[in-house]
Every structure is written in C-alpha cells, then in structure tokens.
C-alpha cells in the first residue's frame, strides 16, 4: 500500500511517518505499539525514540490486546461523526495494556449496556471499521 493509499484510508487522522505503521497495522487487523529494540520498553503514541533509553531503534510490535480500564467517563453530548449514541451515554475509557504499567489506549466499550461499565474491568481490543474514516481500536469486555 502506498502512502497516498494509506492517507486516503484514514481521512481526518493526523498521519505521519512516525505513526504510519500503527495505522497500517489497523488495516491488517493488528494493534502495533512501538517497542524499544534495546531495552524492550513500550511507548504510545508512536514516536521515533525510546523515552527510557533514547534508542532510535524502535519497532512497531503486536500486543496481546488485553488490559484494564483505568479511566472512564460517560459522554452525554459531542461529535456524531463516529456514530456515538448519547441517549443513554457514550462510554469513553482509557485502558492500561497488560504489557506495561502506564501503557494506555483510549476508546469506547462495545457491546455492553453503557451504564454498567466500571473502572477496573478487564477488556480486550476490538478493531472495527467505521464508515468513511478507516478502522480504529476500541474495547469489549473479556468473555
């Protein structure tokens, strides 16, 4: 896939050379997070250096995709671009991935009664396609 095709697949996203692999991964159904080749530290969002040891050798690497909800808000108004339903409330969470303390992703929780989402819940990632904006990472409860 060319860079032009990648940009076309994610209109409205601030895509650049540092995060392109993350978005290419989403198109392939994979969540890739940058990991240091020298000290194995993960970081997000994607940058070109390891924040722990300053190595410039970092590799987008697949993660297990499981984690814990550490931040939660229920949105009652906002953008309708991504199909959010505000009638009951749209849950927005940050999930700490199991790979490393503090390694977090934001997204919504799918397939649940929004009123039942709680801090501390175990979730796993879902990569879903949204009309007109390309795939993105959200979450679902662990079965």
Partner 1 sequence: MSPSRRNPARDQVAIVGLGRSAYGRDRLGCTPGSLVLDAAIAAARDAGVGAADIDGICGSTVAAGYVQAALGIARVSWFSNPPSVIGNQIVAAVAAVNSGMCETALVYHNAYRMPFASRSAGRDPMRRRAMLGLAETRSAWGTGHAESGANSMFGANAYAAWAGRYLHDYGYERDTLGLIAINSRTNAASNDNAVYREPLTMQDYLAGRMVRDPLSVYDMDIPVDAADAFIITTTERARYLAQTPVLVHAATLGHTDYGIEEQLVDLDHAGQVVVAERLWAKSELTLADVDVFYPYEGFSNIALSWFENVGYCGRGEGGAFVRQHWVEDEQRILIHGRIPVNTHGGSLSEGGTQGAGHLYEACLQLRGTAGIRQVPGASVALVTPGGYYFNSQGFVLRRGA
The window from 6-14, 24-32, 33-41, 57-65 that contacts partner 1 (CB under 8 A) reads: 6-14
Which residues make beta-bridge pairs with 97?
67
Residues 72-131 that bind partner 1 (CB under 8 A): 72-82, 84, 89-90, 92-94, 101-102, 104-108, 119
Site stretch for partner 1 (CB under 8 A), options 8-16, 30-38, 59-67? 8-16
Q: What track of x and - describes contact with partner 1 for positions 23 through 52 (by CB under 8 A)?
A: ---------------------xx-x---x-
Tokens representing 77 are 């108004």
Size of the site for partner 1 (CB under 8 A): 39
H, E, C per residue of 27-68 = HCCCCEEEEECCCCCEECCCCCCCCCCCCCCEEEEECCCEEE
112 neighbors 141 (Cβ within 8 angstroms): yes
Tokens representing 142? 């662990």
142 φ, ψ (degrees, to nearest 5): -65, 135
Closest separation in Å from C-beta 142 to partner 1: 20
Eight-class DSSP state of 131: T
Tell me which residues touch partner 1 (CB under 8 A): 12-16, 19, 44-45, 47, 51, 70-82, 84, 89-90, 92-94, 101-102, 104-108, 119, 136, 138
């Amino acid at each position: 896939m060319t860079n032009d095709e990648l940009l076309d697949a994610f209109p409205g996203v601030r895509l650049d050379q540092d995060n392109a692999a993350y978005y290419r991964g989403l198109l392939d159904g994979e969540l890739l997070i940058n990991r240091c080749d020298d000290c194995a530290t993960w970081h997000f969002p994607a940058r070109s250096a390891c924040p722990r040891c300053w190595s410039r050798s970092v590799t987008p690497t697949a993660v297990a995709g499981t984690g814990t909800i550490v931040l939660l808000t229920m949105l009652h108004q906002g953008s309708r671009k991504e199909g959010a339903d505000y009638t009951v409330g749209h849950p927005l969470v940050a999930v700490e991935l199991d790979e490393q303390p503090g390694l977090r992703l934001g997204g919504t929780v799918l397939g649940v009664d929004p009123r039942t989402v709680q801090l501390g819940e175990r979730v796993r990632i879902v990569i879903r396609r949204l009309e007109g904006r390309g795939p993105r990472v959200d979450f679902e409860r662990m079965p």
